Chain A
Amino acid sequence: MPKQRRGPKDRSSNRKVELKAILQELGKKVYDSLDSNQFPSMDFPSRSVKNIVYDAKAKQYVLGSRKVTRSASNIKHIRPFTQLTWLAFFATQLVGQEKTSTLRDVYYSSQAYDIEFDDQSESDSIITDLETVISRAREELNIYPEERSAIFGDLDIEYTVRGYEGKRLNLSSHPDGYLIGPSLSSAEFVDTSAEMVIAVEKGGLFTRFVEEKVHERFKAIIVDTAGQPPRATRYMLRRLHDELNLPVYIMTDGDVYGEHIAMVIISGSARAAHLRDLTVPSGKWIGIWASDIAKYNLPTIPMNEVDIKRVHDLKADPRYQKGIWPRELDTFLKIKRKCELEAFSKFGLTTIVDKYLPEKLEIAKSL
């Protein structure tokens, strides 16, 4: 089996250099305004609902042309402006010192610099502002949320984090999988025999896939998204696709929320409309489809009103207008029932791997 080889030093370190330059430029602009007795200001795209538009070409939500100006001369803006300037400074420190921080850390770190945040949601929102200003995800600034998901499969990585530089690891060495955290997110991909990525919504199925050697039988890297995937996971999926040219398949519960998890992996979320590089436009949702419920005679649960309302919401979403997406939504509406991945256990614990997965992968070729 030929392994794909790539040089470990390139893409991510370039991005890092770029990032530092962007942050320095931001600081310089503010500095120059102040130094010439002008109130500094920053323009960035508005993230209000009205300015979030669907880009059919990019197949994701993006921010429209509306800009907001945050000026230090405005009494209501100067506090967030100061917070934003501080955050740019703090992120520069993080990246420079190769340290990572959680969202909560950021909230507490501010207090060492006389920067006030009323609560973490205020600091989170400033972090999102900075992402918008510099068009980079917070993960690149070494800022991560607490939530983590896992990855398993034959993939050699080389760490770039301080203290582990050059150290390599094969991601099939530990059967519980590896947390997709800051170290893994910044690691370079060195080598893999995998031919596909399978993202699953639930830890239970992830474990079953490892036990049933899906990584060997299907030459797959398995990713546990742990529900709606964190951005680090979406970024990881994107890299696996872009850097290793692997197709990404997504397997979720057979309900409207599972369908949307697949959609977010493929085309992003409205909340991250200010960011790129978090989507896998060629990703494929392989199940569980509403139509699979009857086809495989799966045990079901009735949909409640909230579920049904969610179906109607998604039917209005521009991304749900073509192909299997509206078809499955309609089927959910028709049968008014949903099912979980575990439902296959009714036919034996391995049925989902032995029968369902190969059949769906075959179908996926024609999607």
Chain B
Amino acid sequence: MIGSNSGRTIVMAHRNNQSSFSEISPSEFFYRNRDLAGFSNPAKALYTATRELVENSLDACESTATLPKISVKIRYSEEERHEQDPRTYVITVQDNGNGIDPRQAPNAFGKVFYGSKYRLKQARGMFGMGGTMAILYGQITTSKPVTITTSTDGREFHTFRLLIDIQNNKPIILSRSTRRGVGSSGTSVEMLLHGDFFRASAKIRDYFRQTALVTPYAEITFIDPQGRLWYFPQTTKTVPKAPIETKPHPHGFDFEAMRRLLKQTDESSFPKLLMNEFHRVGKQTARNFLTFAKFDLRTDPRKISNEETVRLVDAMHQFDGFLPPDSNCLSPLGTEILKAGIVSELQPEFYSIAIRPPAAYSGYPFIVEVALAYGGKVIGEGVRLYRFANRVPLLYDEASDVAGQVVSELLDRRAYNIPREAPLAVITHVCSTKIPYKSVGKEFLAERPELEKELKNGLRETLRQLKSYLSRKGSIEAVQRRKNIYGKYLPLIAQFSQSLSGAKRPPKYQGLIKDYDDELAIKVEQIAKTKKRTEGQI
């Protein structure tokens, strides 16, 4: 028997050669493992908490296709204003989403695993635990409650002050009040936590900047502790279509999930269970599959043994008769949004966008979007990679990320005639019902071959467009240069040759320069056409 003498820790017992786990509260589990969730030090904690709250807000707005207006404020707590970092900070995040039903609000923020996201749906956070983790961390480090104000109609505003009962994973409501007013729906969260803004500020700013790059439809205001305002205006009214919730695809389903499903279900018909619980499984497919898996169609799925469950799951992974996952549930950014974000945040000379067709790995559909921004004054020299997964910027561990590897492998400046040191930004966005993160930290994506292939194809596509732009631009510059050089030297040659020959009038050579004006006009027209065509394609 391994474990401590406290009643609710992990206990592993050996019974009949089978391992089983006694449960601990999810809150307690996360408290013990806060490093994994991105709260390893005061600087990272401040960044992660800000980010989780902002992402909750963005998700809330997008789920109802509302143009998000998010305002974020980080300030020193009154008591520790004059202390050195790390110290206590107050974070306030307010959105204009649809608000939270007051009956569910305490649980939504005070209970781990109580999000609206514990289903298969493309969303920024997974399982809705990020916001609660932030609150939990704040409570642990400051012993202060969190204040949540929410309104679903813009008329009734409900305010709660909560603490989390860590051991029992439930909210402790310290106070609640309701007031009437006139405003918009939405939610505001104010919490305290022990953080280090001095060390976190660069990451937090990067986070906002990159978020703005893929959410140009949002207006984001950020006021930092020194009172500086960072404003990211809304530059497009196009909101990505709200992601649709979807059932899991059999190819991605694992043993543990199947075990739980069979334990919970009331369905006694095997084919019906498959049809109800899985993505794109119809009557015929269910029958074909069960035959393939060597199950009698009349077997009661609730009664199969562990060994049979293993056989069932293995068969699910091997059977190739399932329809591929439907990408309807995915919400890629799309050309309009990427374009608006790139134009307003990076102000490049040229950009190209490639949106790949939907693909799937292990039964999870995904779409890769790659954009390339070239030149301009905002991107620095060299190559910058901006990685996004379900619209969340990934700021750490670029080198370990599959996108980082694809870029360093494919981006050969010479092959694509890209001038050395020319500013270049690569933007990769992967959206999926399940992002293949390599670690719990949600900072870099694993090298799934399907994903790698789509990233490569997307990057190649954008690079080819850039190459063709550069070569056209190069040829215009060459003609322009030619014209300038002729314009400079021919008059001199004319002058001296006239003097040498003793001719009475200057030679008529102007036609030689005019030819180049015509050529230039044709080329400029060509490149304008290309730009249009490129944009049309993407």
Contact = CB atoms under 8 A, between A and B. Distances in A.
Q: Do A and B bind each other?
A: yes
A26 B493 CA distance: 12
B512 interface: yes
A92 B499 CA distance: 10
Given A75-B482, A82-B492, A92 B500 contact: yes
Nearest to A89: B496
Interface stretch (B26-34, B100-108, B376-384, B501-509): B501-509
Contact of B497 (A34, A37, A75, A113): A34
Interface of B: 481-482, 485-486, 489-490, 492-494, 496-503, 507-509, 511-512
Contacts of B485: 75, 78-79
A75 B481 contact: yes
Contact of A30 (B481, B497, B502, B511): B497
A28 interface: yes
A32 B502 CA distance: 12
A27 B499 contact: yes
Contacts of A82: 489, 492-493, 496
Interface in A6-34: 23-24, 26-28, 30-32, 34
A34 B509 contact: yes
A31 B503 contact: yes
B163 to A, nearest CB: 77
B492 A85 contact: yes
Contacts of A115: 492
Interface in A67-92: 72, 75, 78-79, 81-82, 85-86, 88-89, 92
Given A34-B494, A39-B512, A78-B485, 4 more contacts: A31-B497, A40-B497, A72-B490, A81-B489
Closest 9 CB pairs of A and B: A27-B500, A35-B507, A34-B507, A30-B497, A28-B501, A27-B501, A34-B509, A89-B496, A31-B497
B489 A88 contact: no
Contact of B501 (A31, A39, A78): A31
Nearest to B498: A31
A360 to B, nearest CB: 50
A72 B497 CA distance: 13
Nearest to A30: B497
Contact of B499 (A78, A81, A89): A89
B500 A88 contact: yes
A78 B489 contact: yes
A261 B501 CA distance: 41
Given A27-B497, A88-B496, A34 B502 contact: no
A114 interface: yes
A115 B492 CA distance: 8
Nearest to B509: A34
A86 to B, nearest CB: 5
A32 B494 CA distance: 10
Most buried by A among B481, B500, B501: B500
Given A78-B485, A88-B496, A115-B492, A24 B502 contact: yes
A30 B481 CA distance: 23
Interface secondary structure of B, over-half rule: helix
A72 B485 CA distance: 10
Interface string A107-139: 000000111000000000000000000000000
Contacts of B492: 82, 85-86, 113-115
Interface string A86-109: 101100100000000000000000
Contacts of A24: 500-502
Given A72-B493, A78-B489, A37 B501 contact: no
A113 B72 CA distance: 65
A23 B501 CA distance: 8
Nearest to A86: B496
Contacts of B512: 34, 37, 39
A160 to B, nearest CB: 24
A89 B493 CA distance: 10
A92 B489 CA distance: 20
B490 A34 contact: yes
A24 B485 CA distance: 26
Contacts of B507: 31-32, 34-35
Most buried by B among A34, A40, A81, A86: A34
Contacts of A113: 492, 496
A85 B482 contact: no
Contacts of B511: 37
B500 A26 contact: yes
A27 B496 CA distance: 8
A35 B485 CA distance: 19
Nearest to B515: A37
B490 to A, nearest CB: 7
A88 B481 CA distance: 27
B384 to A, nearest CB: 35
A306 to B, nearest CB: 41
A81 B485 CA distance: 12
A69 to B, nearest CB: 16
A114 B503 CA distance: 21
A302 B345 CA distance: 75
A213 to B, nearest CB: 50
B501 A79 contact: no
B509 A85 contact: no
A26 B482 CA distance: 25
A104 B368 CA distance: 66
Contacts of A30: 493, 497, 500-501
